[in-house]
């Protein structure tokens, strides 16, 4: 498995790149196209802009938590988050566009206030995971990078930095393996050095693990009395090898470009990916 050595500095760089991608995509879309549905079912461009702006504010809450030690959740509740996105989507579009850029700038400024001690402080994500505060920048990088594609302004997964894509695949592979709710996969990037394995239940194109072998303990030699005549000695019992019947998990082999694999694992599309079965929702 390829593992990217991802740090806070890397994530901040990807946040800056993701902001550039997202702002560029937003700028290419005239107002009327923001009224159409995006790649995310049920969300128009307006909803996606509101979500990205609110995400910046929510992650800013986590930065405040890390800096002050006072628990400051991302959202008061999932219901409130959804209601805020819906309300935000109804803002005048000029205001909505400005909200996206202003909230991103505010979060960038907040990141700059984190010192090493703050970065080590645990905070809780919207999904309930406890992570060090240095992970906040990675959460933001994922948002702006992936949603710059979702917005439909011409950005593709192929346009995203390869280092980010490899880190994204690492992240999703770890989460899907922990969830263990989908098929077992081996993923091979055809244009990048990387092979990943996802634990899961059996699928097709089997790569089978060998069955375990159990050896029984030797039987104690038979006790013999002194012979009155010449008697052939009793031969000790030879240990018997018993092959255990084990459950065999079939692993599906998936190949594609690094960008294609990242898009597939993130639940976006399977273009250019071969052998890809359907997956449960990622986030």
Read off the pLDDT of residues 161-199 as tens digits, 9 standing for 90 and up.
999 999 999 999 999 999 999 999 999 999 988 899 999
Looking at residue 144, the DSSP 8-state letter turns out to be H
What is the average pLDDT value for the chain, to the nearest integer? 86
52 CB contacts (<8 Å, ≥6 apart)?
Answer: 22, 100, 103, 104, 143, 144, 147
Phi, psi for residue 254 in degrees, rounded to 5:
-120, 135
User: Side-chain half-sphere of 161: how many Cα atoms within 13 Å?
Assistant: 20
* pLDDT interval class at 69 (50, 70, 90): very high
* pLDDT interval class at 221 (50, 70, 90): very low
Q: Are the CB atoms for 106 and 52 separated by under 8 Å? A: no
* CATH fold for domain 8-155: 1.20.120
Dihedral sign, Cα of residue 97, residue 101, residue 106, residue 107: positive
Comparing 252 with 249, which gets the higher pLDDT? 252
DSSP string, 233-265: PPPPPPP-EEE--------EEEEE-HHHHHHHH
Ranges assigned E (strand) in the chain: 122-124, 130-132, 185-189, 195-198, 213-215, 241-243, 252-256, 273-274
* Distance in angstroms (rounded) separating the CA atoms of residues 196 and 256: 12
Task: Identify the pLDDT of residue 133.
Answer: 97
* Distance in angstroms (rounded) separating the CA atoms of residues 234 and 136: 73
* pLDDT interval class at 149 (50, 70, 90): very high
Q: Over range 240-266, report the average pLDDT.
A: 79
Does pLDDT of 1 surpass 60? no
Q: Over range 60-88, report the average pLDDT.
A: 97
Phi, psi for residue 16 in degrees, rounded to 5:
-60, -45
Least-confidence region, from 64-68, 128-132, 236-240:
236-240
CATH 1.20.120.450 in the chain, residues? 8-155
Does pLDDT of 224 surpass 50? no
Q: Are the CB atoms for 248 and 209 separated by under 8 Å? A: yes
Question: 120: alpha, beta or left, given left = phi > 0 and alpha = psi -120 to 50?
Answer: alpha
């Amino acid at each position: 498995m390829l593992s990217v050595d991802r740090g806070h500095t890397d994530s901040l760089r990807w946040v800056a790149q993701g902001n550039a991608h997202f702002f560029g995509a937003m700028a290419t879309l005239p107002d009327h196209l923001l009224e159409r549905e995006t790649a995310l079912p049920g969300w128009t461009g307006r909803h996606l802009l509101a979500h990205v702006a609110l995400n910046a504010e929510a992650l800013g809450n986590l930065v405040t938590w890390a800096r002050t030690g006072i628990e400051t959740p991302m959202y008061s509740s999932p219901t409130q988050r959804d209601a805020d996105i819906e309300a935000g989507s109804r803002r005048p579009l000029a205001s909505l566009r400005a909200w996206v850029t202003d909230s991103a700038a505010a979060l960038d400024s907040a990141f700059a206030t984190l010192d090493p001690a703050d970065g080590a402080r645990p905070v809780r994500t919207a999904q309930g995971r406890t992570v060090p505060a240095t992970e906040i920048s990675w959460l933001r990088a994922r948002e702006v990078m992936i949603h710059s594609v979702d917005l439909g302004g011409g950005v593709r997964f192929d346009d995203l930095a390869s280092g980010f894509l490899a880190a994204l695949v690492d992240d999703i592979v770890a989460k899907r393996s922990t969830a263990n709710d989908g098929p077992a996969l081996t993923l091979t990037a055809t244009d990048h050095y990387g092979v990943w394995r996802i634990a899961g239940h059996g699928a097709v194109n089997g790569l089978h693990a060998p069955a375990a072998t159990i050896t029984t303990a030797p039987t104690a030699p038979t006790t013999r009395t002194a012979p009155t005549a010449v008697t052939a000695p009793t031969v000790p019992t030879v240990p018997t090898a018993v092959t255990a019947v084990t459950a065999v998990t079939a692993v599906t082999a998936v190949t594609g470009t690094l960008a294609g694999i990242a898009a597939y694992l993130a639940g976006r599309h399977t273009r250019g990916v071969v052998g890809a079965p359907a997956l449960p929702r990622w986030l």
